[in-house]
Structure 1
C-alpha cells in the first residue's frame, strides 16, 4: 500500500486508527465506537472523557456521527487505488431489549436453535455486544440449556460455545458457580458434559471450567472429588483440542496447590497421562512447562512420587526436558528428580538415574546459566549420592570436573 496522509480528524483519539464507526460522547468529542466502549467499560476509566477529562458515565449515550462516517467512507473510495479499503456502514448496535425479546423466543423449544444461532452472531460481532448479552440475562438462558439433560447435543454445543465466547465477567462467573439446576451446581453440569458430551462440548466445558476455577472459592476447589479430576485428566488423555488441553493443564496447576487434591489427581491417573504428554515430540514449550509444574506438585505427595517412579519412562523424560525447554522447566525438572532421589535412594533408582543421564544433566546444570536455587538443588543431589555416582563410567569425562566434592 502506498503512503497516504490520513486526515487527523479521521483518527480515533484513543487508538489513533481510522474510525470505522464514529460516535460522539456527551463531551462533544468523537471516538471510534469500539475504542470508547472499551474505555468506558474499563473500571479505571469510567469517570472521564479521554480528551477533555469531563465526567462520563458507563451508560453514556454514544451518538453516531453519520456525517463524519460518510466523509471517511468517501475518502477511502477516493484512495482505493492506493490500497485503502472502504469502511463498511456499521450495523445498528444491538440493545438489551432486542436481546431479551430474542431470549424469550428461545424459551420455545422449536425456536431454540435459531435463537442460539442469532446469539452466536451477536456475540461474535464485538465486545459491546458480549457485555450487552451478559447484562440481558443470556448467561442464565444458556446455562439452563446446558443443564437440561434432555437438550440436544447440537444445542448444548452451541450454548457452550456462546458461553465461552462471551468472556463472562468475574461477577458473572461467580454467579454461574453458585447457580443450581436439577440439584446440581453449574460446575457439576460442566463435569457431566466432560464425561458424556461431544468433543466440541467437552472442549468448551474445559475452557469454561478454567475461567470459573480462577475465581472459585478455595474451599470449593479443595472439595473436588476424584471423579472430577478423572474428567479433567480424560480431556488431556483424549487430546480433544490444543485449547482444551492447555485449559486442562492450567486447571491442574490451579487445583493441585493442596495436598489432598494432589492425591486425588494421582488416583485419577494424572501422572501417567502427564508423562505421555512429555513423551510427545510435538508438545509445545508452554505445555511442557505446565506439565512439569503439575508433576512437581504431584511429587509433593508419596502417591505421586510412586506413580512417577512406576512409569517406565518417568525419570528419563523428566531428565530429558532439563536444559531443553526453559529455565522454568529446568527448575521443575530438577525439583522432581530431587524428590525421587531423596525419598527413593535405593540402588535400583540411583542406577536408573545414572543410566538415563540424570547425573550427567545435573553436572551440566552446575556449568550453565541456571537459577541459584536450581544449581543448589542439583549440587545437593550430587553430593548426597556421590558414593554411588561419582566414579561411574556413565558420566562423561568432561563433566566429572564439575562434580561437587563431598
Structure 2
C-alpha cells in the first residue's frame, strides 16, 4: 500500500487499487463489506495515520532496498476540471491549460474518467477544429494526445459519435494536421492516425460518402512514408481505407490517390503478417473495380508478388 484511502464504509484501500475496482466493477460495492460505494474518487478520504506508518516502515527498511514513496497523486476535483475547460477561452492561459490537462490525462484512468464527465473531450475537439480553421498549430499536439487518452476511457461509450462521427469538420481538421506535419513531426502524425482510426470507427455512412480525394491522398502518403512512421500508424491507414471501400465512389478515389501502387510497394518490403493481411484485404476491394485492376496490372511486380505470397502467409491472405 502506497497511498491509503478510506472508503465511506470505513475500509482502507490503496488508492490505485480501489479506483481501478470502482472503474471496472459493474456494481459499485465495497470489496470487504459488500456495501454500496460511490464510483467517484471524491469520496475516498486519505488515511494520513496509516500513510505515516508506511513512510516510517520504508525509512526503517531503507538499508534492505526499500524505496521511499514518491510524492502522491492528489485526486482530481471536478470543479478544477470545469475551471480548466473555461480557461481554454482565455488566450494567455491557453497553453498552460492544455499542458496541465495533458499532465492530468496521463496520470490515471480515474482522472481521465473525471475529465470525460466534465466535458474535456468536447473541449479538445473544439480546440482541434479551431486550430484547423485558424491555421494555427500551437498546442495542437497536446490536444490530440489528450483526446486520444480520453477516447480509451471505458465510460465514453457511444458519446463520440455525435461529436465527431456525424460532422466532416473534425476529419478535415485531422487531414490538415497530417498534411501539415507529414515531414516535421512524426510523433504527431502517429497520434493523429490513431485518433483518425477511432473517428472512422464511429463515422456514419453519410460522412464516409463525403470524404474528399485529399483525405485519401493523405492516407496513401502515410503508406508511402512507412519507414519513418510506427507500425500502428500504418495499420491505422490500412484499416481506414478498408472501412471506406464498401462505397464504390470511395474505391475509385482510393485508386485515384495511388493506393494500389503503394500497397504493392509496401508488400514488397516484406512487412509483418498482420500488415500483409490488411494489404491483401484492401487490394481485393480495389481490384473489384476496373480502375483498380488496371492499376494493379500496370505494376511490373504485382502478379509475381501474389504468386509468392499465396499459401505462404496465412489463410486470411489466401482468401
TM band (smaller chain): 0.7 to 0.9
C-alpha distance in 2 between matches for 1:53 and 1:298? 56
State which of 99, 106, 113 in structure 2 corresponds to 1:124: 106
Task: Quote how far apart the aligned CAs of 1:206 are.
Answer: 1.6
Specify whether residues 26 and 230 from structure 1 end up closer, same or farther in structure 2 by C-alpha distance, changes over 3 A only.
same
C-alpha distance in 2 between matches for 1:230 and 1:89? 48
Post-superposition CA distance 1:273-328 (Å, at most 9, x none): 111111224x2332222222222332333332332222111222233334544x24
State which of 275, 278, 282 in structure 2 corresponds to 1:287: 275
Which residue number in structure 1 is paired with residue 260 of structure 2? 271
Specify whether residues 217 and 50 from structure 1 end up closer, same or farther in structure 2 by C-alpha distance, changes over 3 A only.
farther
C-alpha distance in 2 between matches for 1:250 and 1:195? 19
Which residue number in structure 2 is paired with residue 315 of structure 1? 303
- Give unpaired runs (5+ residues) of structure 1: 1-18, 336-406
Specify whether residues 118 and 175 from structure 1 end up closer, same or farther in structure 2 by C-alpha distance, changes over 3 A only.
same
C-alpha distance in 2 between matches for 1:178 and 1:108? 28
Which residue number in structure 2 is paired with residue 191 of structure 1? 175
Which residue number in structure 2 is paired with residue 252 of structure 1? 241
How does the TM-score come out when normalised to structure 1?
0.68
Secondary structure, aligned partner of 2:13: strand
Secondary structure, aligned partner of 2:163: helix
Alignment of structure 1 residues 183-262 onto 2, 5 Å: 185-197=169-181, 199=185, 200-239=187-226, 241-242=229-230, 243-262=232-251
Task: Quote how far apart the aligned CAs of 1:205 are.
Answer: 2.3
Q: After the TM superposition, which segments of 4 or more aligned residues of structure 1 sit over 6 Å from their partners?
A: none
Say how many residue pairs are matched.
308
C-alpha distance in 2 between matches for 1:36 and 1:132? 15
Specify whether residues 82 and 159 from structure 1 end up closer, same or farther in structure 2 by C-alpha distance, changes over 3 A only.
same
Maintained 8 Å contact 1:272/1:307? yes
**Which structure: larger Rg?**
1
How does the TM-score come out when normalised to structure 2?
0.84
Let me know the Cα RMSD of the aligned residues. 2.7
Which residue number in structure 2 is paired with residue 139 of structure 1? 121
Specify whether residues 201 and 175 from structure 1 end up closer, same or farther in structure 2 by C-alpha distance, changes over 3 A only.
farther
C-alpha distance in 2 between matches for 1:313 and 1:31? 62
Maintained 8 Å contact 2:6/2:12? yes
Post-superposition CA distance 1:246-286 (Å, at most 9, x none): 221222233334444333322222111111111224x2332
Task: Quote how far apart the aligned CAs of 1:118 are.
Answer: 1.4
Maintained 8 Å contact 2:223/2:234? yes
Alignment of structure 1 residues 358-377 onto 2, 5 Å: none
Matched, 1:48 2:29: yes
- Give unpaired runs (5+ residues) of structure 2: none
C-alpha distance in 2 between matches for 1:307 and 1:115? 49
Task: Quote how far apart the aligned CAs of 1:174 are.
Answer: 1.8
Specify whether residues 267 and 26 from structure 1 end up closer, same or farther in structure 2 by C-alpha distance, changes over 3 A only.
same
Alignment of structure 1 residues 142-161 onto 2, 5 Å: 142-148=124-130, 149-150=133-134, 152-161=136-145
Specify whether residues 85 and 223 from structure 1 end up closer, same or farther in structure 2 by C-alpha distance, changes over 3 A only.
same
Secondary structure, aligned partner of 2:139: helix
Post-superposition CA distance 1:324-383 (Å, at most 9, x none): 44x24xx42x34xxxxxxxxxxxxxxxxxxxxxxxxxxxxxxxxxxxxxxxxxxxxxxxx
With CA pairs under 8 Å and 6+ residues apart, which has the higher RCO, 1 or 2? 2
Task: Quote how far apart the aligned CAs of 1:210 are.
Answer: 0.8
State which of 287, 293, 298 in structure 2 corresponds to 1:305: 293
C-alpha distance in 2 between matches for 1:179 and 1:194? 21
Task: Quote how far apart the aligned CAs of 1:178 are.
Answer: 5.4
